[in-house]
Structures are given as structure tokens and as C-alpha cells.
A and B are shown apart, each in its own frame.
Chain A
Amino acid sequence: MSVTTRYEPMFAALKAKQQGAFIPFVTLGDPDLAQSEAIIKAMIDAGADALELGFPFSDPVADGPTIQRASIRALQSKVSIQHCFELLARVRAYSPDTPIGLLVYGNLVMAQGRERFYQRCAEVGVDSVLVADVPVREGATFQQAANQAGVAQVFIAPPDASPETLTRIAKHSQGYIYLLSRAGVTGANVEVSAPATQLVDYLNAQQGAPAVLGFGISKPEHVQHAIQAGAAGAISGSAVVQRIEDNLADSTAMLTALSDFVRSMKAATV
């Protein structure tokens, strides 16, 4: 089943301008609901092409310490999944055209029931959902529920995947393909190991959704390298979240640091 999202016009517009996409990630409700809303709006204003937003989860196995702490802060602020959906609706109202992707763990989807979860995503204007612990092999029921609701299902392409796996991921991933720059969990201090040119070329040859590079993207030069390697964009998570953590005592400084960071990363996509 094919779905229409806000990613297609975004990638088309950027391509026309010969730019890549810069996509920052934050956890919804980190450090609390009000600040999280201000943070997300500030990133949109600073030039984020799309957003990748996480639901706080008690057991985030694909995340390194920085994003684990973001989940813990949100949960300690009593941020519920219901709150997250409400926040998403406000973000959508603020910016009708920015593509919004969710990054969640499977149990949060299952707890609501797949149909209801994706229905709620559609209602608040979410374009895509990536379930970190649901590989393509287990993805059919998730993708069916997503597509019935008109939501795209994104899958992750590992850096050392076999051609068969990459082909399968290119076939199923919708909106974009989340290409890992390296093995391991999320984190800014383990840098991108090798240029992704070959992987990107292979994925692009499959004529699937555009590949976007993530994991370890913490500096403008990482974004530049990703675009040069042929990726349609780059996602930065831990480096963004670190700026939240570094400025917990001063929300004005936090928003300034985040805006500056998004601007510098976006500038590297040009």
C-alpha cells in the first residue's frame, strides 16, 4: 500500500534547491511538556526541514546514555503517551507542512493496539513511524496498521546489511529510509566510521524512499559528509538532546543553544 506524506514535497523542494534535509531529534516531553513544546517550535523556526520525535520509554534498548536520560527526564516529569499525542497536535497546528516522524518502541504501540496507535498518529498529523525494535522481518502487521491509517512505516538499514536485507528495506521503508552510519546505539561521542557512499548508492539504485543518515551525527561536517555521500539528509539526536541537558537550569540559553545548533547543521546541507 502506498501512502502520501509531507516527506515527498519536502525532499522534492530541497532537491530543486540542491540541498539536503537536516532533521533534529528530541524526546517528547523532555525535560517537561511546556519546555519540550518551546524546544520543538524553536527548532522549526531555526530551519529544521523535518522532525524526528521520540516517545519516552522505560527501556530504550537502541539508545545510548544521552537519549536514555531524555526518556527518564520526561517520565519523571510525568509525561504520558496521551500528553505526547496532545503535544504532537499542537506542533502540527504550529507548522502544517513540516514532516513529522515518530521514533518509538514496540511495546508503546502494542499497549494501545496497533490500529488505535496509528489512528491516533494520523489524527495528530504524524507522517511516519519508526519502531526501533521492530525489524522488517516482524514489520508486516505494523506496516499494515500504519498504512490503513495513512501513516508511513520507516525501517532502519544497518551499515553492514546484506544486499538482500537492503533490498527488502528499500522496498518496505516509506517516507524515507533511516540509514545507520555505524553499528551500536545512538550517541554523539562515537563518530561515523566510514563514508556511506556505497550503501547510499545501493539503496538509491533500489529506487525506494530517500536514504537519510543517522547515529553519531553531531557536527556540521558530519551533515556535509552525509550529503556528499548521496544521502538525502541527516538526523541528529544525541547532540541535540545534549544541548537540552547542558542547559536545564536556563531555558532561554537552552533555546538559543538549540537554535544555533540547528542553524549550523542546516547550513551544512547547502
Chain B
Amino acid sequence: MSDYSGNTRLNPYFGEFGGQYVPEILLPALDQLEKAFIDAQNDEAFRSELSDLLKNYLGRPTPLSLCRNLPRKGRSKIYLKREDLLHGGAHKTNQVLAQALLAKRMGKRRIIAETGAGQHGTATALACALLDLECIIYMGKKDVERQQPNVFRMELMGAKVVPVDTGSGTLKDAVNEALRDWTASYATTHYLLGTAAGPHPFPTIVREFHRMIGEESKQQILAQAGRLPDEVIACVGGGSNAIGMFADFIDNTDVALIGVEPGGKGLSSLEHGATINAGKPGLLHGCYSFLMQTDEGQIEESYSVSAGLDYPGVGPQHAHLHASGRANYVSVTDDEALAAFKLLSAHEGIIPALESAHALAYAVKRAEDSDEELILLVNLSGRGDKDIDHVRKIFAAQANDAKES
């Protein structure tokens, strides 16, 4: 039965995870994308156009900041990789620009993408505006309602936002709808997937186009701290910022890799998005990886205060890093992330994205609980401007509850 496989040029699997679990009709589009990716990586013109955009449009390299006031006890140091300073407000634009260039290279001028809270949609919209591509963003109906400012942002930059009201009306349904569009439109359309999940070659492409996060960090921390960090820490929803941060450290086995999953209201509450900590392997959106699902295999809704981490799956390379023991996946609750959000704002003058606040919450706790002089490197993957309203309402409600009780 050897002729089942062997059509991909790169390995579609990470250990037992990954693969190409999509309708047969999409395989030629995935093969075409893989080929374009390999060719582009070897094409000086592509590389120089991308690196020019990364430098002069996005603002790379991003700084590495040593926290001056955190942690408040212990001897450890926390360094922040400042992806929050990137144009677009988060790491996401790195790989979006690169994929948009790949689309042009394949002669595809129509871009479709999914978005949850609107961050990937916004990044895709800005790249399409810049590169003159048609942009369609699928967004759950519930998310459209609760993320109006981001819908307006996307529309301002010329994207068409399509509300998805099938299923639960959230991110996973937006992915379903984008995949459905793609099964009819692949000849002219590129599906610009927003995270390091999905069918091969997406997890590899997304990792490679984010790997400068870890590469820059490594050079910067060697220059600033004089040695490699003890732990590299990043939040994990689908896992794109984490894999970009981890990739260059995977072979440095003395460096611990810590992925921080959204613990929501606690892992025992069923309202969380801690896929690796509390899910089990299965097939969703093109790959075999950990999933939140029922015993019979129906996909469950995830939950997190942070929309960017609210996804019931996770990238297959993270599943493998977990299974092989190379990385350690922990979870941080909504309340812990909100406390870290406050802490970084109050003590460092940086308002982090709620996603990144999960990574920070773990780092602060680790630093304050340790007697050692640890060097902790945190990927501050995005800024918190988008979360201000949401967090303000949560704090107001909490203050109200406290008054009443």
C-alpha cells in the first residue's frame, strides 16, 4: 500500500501529529502552496522583498526589554520580546505578509481568512490593502457582534467581513466556512490560515515565517544577558507565536520551552481552552492533534477571556513537542491572566494583549517562587489596546460584585 502517500516534498507529520486531513479536492491546492513556499525560500527576490517589508513596514527587528520592576521578589530576570510593537499590534503580521506574497507568487489575487476576535482578520486586511489583493474575512456571527471595532478596522482597509452563523458562530465555524469557500475557489483563491495548525504545509509555513521571533530573541538575550535563557515562555491557542518563539530554541535542550494554555475558569470547570492539558488527539481542520471533544468525537466549544486563545484545537508541532517531552504545557486561568495584565501595565508601563498576559502570568509566578537567578524569556506577542474595553468592563463588574457582597 505504498502508493497512498509520498506526494508531499516536506514531511507533513510531527511525530504522529499533523497530516493532511482535508477533502481530496483540496490536495492540489496544498501541493501548490508547498511548492510555492519551497521555491520562494530559495528565491533571493522573494526573500529580499519580504525582509524589506518586515523591516521598513512592520518595524523588525522588535526590541527585547528587560523588566525593570518585575518580578517584585526573587532574583530572576524577565525579558520581554516586544512583538507588541510590531505594526498591526501583534506578531501575526509577520507570517500574514509572507503568505500574502506567496499568494501573489501563485497568481492568486483573492484571499480568504478566518478570524476570531479579529486580530488575524485585521492583519490579513492590512496585508491585502498593501499588496492590492481582494480580501474576504470569515468571522463567527457572535464574534462580529462583540468585536465591532475590529470589523470596522477590517472594512476600513478594504476587506469584506462575512458573518458565519452556522454551528456555534465562533472561530472554529469561521475556519469551517473558509475551508468550504476554498473547496470551490482554490483555483483563484489563497486560504491565508492564521495559526500554526491546519493541514500541511500550513503548520510548517506559519512556523518558518514566525521563526525570526526566536532567532532575534536568541541574539538579543546573548548580547544583553550573556547567556541563553533558562525558560522560553509563550501563550498557546493555535500556537503561532509560541512556535515562532520556540523554533530556534528546540535544539538548545538546556532551554526549557513552556507553552501557556488558557485555563479559563479552571480546567475542572469545562470552560477553558487548554487543549493539550485537558483534550485528547483527534482530527479537526486538516490535522491530527489535541482537541477538545466529547467521548464520541463531537468538537466542543472552547472558552477563554482572551479571544485569541479561544480555539478547541492546537498546532500539531505543539502536540508533538508535548508528546516527546521537549516542551511543557501549563495553563493559566482568566483571573491570573487579568492580574498579570494589570501588573505589567502598573509596573512596566506596557499594556499586554490578554493572550500574552497568560505567558506573563506564568513567568511572574515562576520568578517569584524561585530562589534561583533564572533568566526567563517571554514572548509579549501583542499589545492590549484591543482588550481595553473588554478588561475595563470585567474590572467594573468585579468591583460591583465586591460592593454587593
Contacts and interface: CB of A to CB of B under 8 A. Distances in A.
Interface of A: 57-65, 68, 72, 75, 80-82, 105-112, 132-140, 143-144, 155-162, 165, 168-169, 171-172, 180, 183-185, 190
A58 B173 CA distance: 10
B176 A137 contact: no
B180 A59 contact: no
A131 to B, nearest CB: 9
A111 B295 contact: yes
B22 A135 contact: yes
Nearest to A69: B166
Contacts of B28: 160-162, 165
A198 to B, nearest CB: 17
A218 B368 CA distance: 66
A192 B338 CA distance: 53
B297 A107 contact: yes
Contacts, number: 125
Interface stretch (B3-11, B40-48, B148-156, B383-391): B3-11
Contact of B20 (A111, A112, A135, A143): A135
A68 B179 CA distance: 14
B282 A107 contact: yes
A137 B20 contact: yes
Contact of A137 (B5, B173, B286): B5
Given A137-B5, A185-B183, A106 B21 contact: yes
Contacts of B283: 105-107, 110, 133
B180 A64 contact: yes
A111 B24 contact: no
B5 A58 contact: no
B282 A110 contact: yes
Given A59-B167, A111-B293, A183-B183, A158 B4 contact: no
B23 A135 contact: yes
A152 B299 CA distance: 27
A68 B299 CA distance: 14
Q: Which of A107, A165, A169 lies at the interface centre, i.e. has the most chain B CB atoms within 10 A of its CB?
A: A107
Nearest to B3: A168
A158 B24 contact: yes
B213 interface: no
A181 B143 CA distance: 35
Contacts of A183: 25, 183-184, 186
Contact of A185 (B27, B180, B286): B180
Interface of B: 1, 3-5, 7, 19-25, 27-28, 166-167, 172-173, 176, 179-180, 183-184, 186, 281-286, 288, 291, 293-299
A230 B70 CA distance: 73
User: SS class of chain B's interface: helix, strand, loop or mixed?
Assistant: mixed
Instruction: List the 5 shortest-distance A-B pairs measured between CB atoms, nearest first.
Output: A111-B297, A184-B184, A158-B25, A106-B283, A135-B24
A138 B21 contact: yes
B7 A137 contact: yes
A137 B293 contact: no
Contacts of B282: 107, 110-111
A240 B291 CA distance: 32
Contacts of A160: 25, 28
B336 to A, nearest CB: 30
B211 to A, nearest CB: 27
B363 to A, nearest CB: 34
Contacts of A64: 180
B301 to A, nearest CB: 9
Contacts of A190: 184
A61 B179 contact: yes
Contacts of B3: 168, 171
Contacts of B179: 61
Q: Which of B27, B288, B297 lies at the interface centre, i.e. has the most chain A CB atoms within 10 A of its CB?
A: B297
A75 B4 contact: no
A80 B282 CA distance: 18
B180 A135 contact: no
B25 A180 contact: yes
Contact of B22 (A110, A133, A143): A133
B183 A81 contact: no
A172 B295 CA distance: 30
A139 B21 CA distance: 9
A68 B21 contact: no
A107 B23 contact: no
Contacts of A168: 3-4
Q: Which of B1, B25, B27, B281 lies at the interface centre, i.e. has the most chain A CB atoms within 10 A of its CB?
A: B25
A102 to B, nearest CB: 14
Nearest to B186: A183
B29 to A, nearest CB: 11
A269 B39 CA distance: 49
A136 B176 contact: no
Nearest to B301: A58
8 contacts: A59-B167, A59-B172, A61-B22, A108-B296, A111-B295, A133-B22, A137-B4, A157-B24
Given A61-B176, A107-B284, A161 B21 contact: no
A111 B296 contact: yes
B275 to A, nearest CB: 14
Contacts of A180: 25
A105 B22 CA distance: 10
Nearest to B296: A81
B296 A134 contact: no
B21 A134 contact: yes
B286 A133 contact: yes
A155 B172 CA distance: 26
Given A81-B296, A111-B293, A140-B5, A169 B24 contact: yes
A155 B173 CA distance: 25
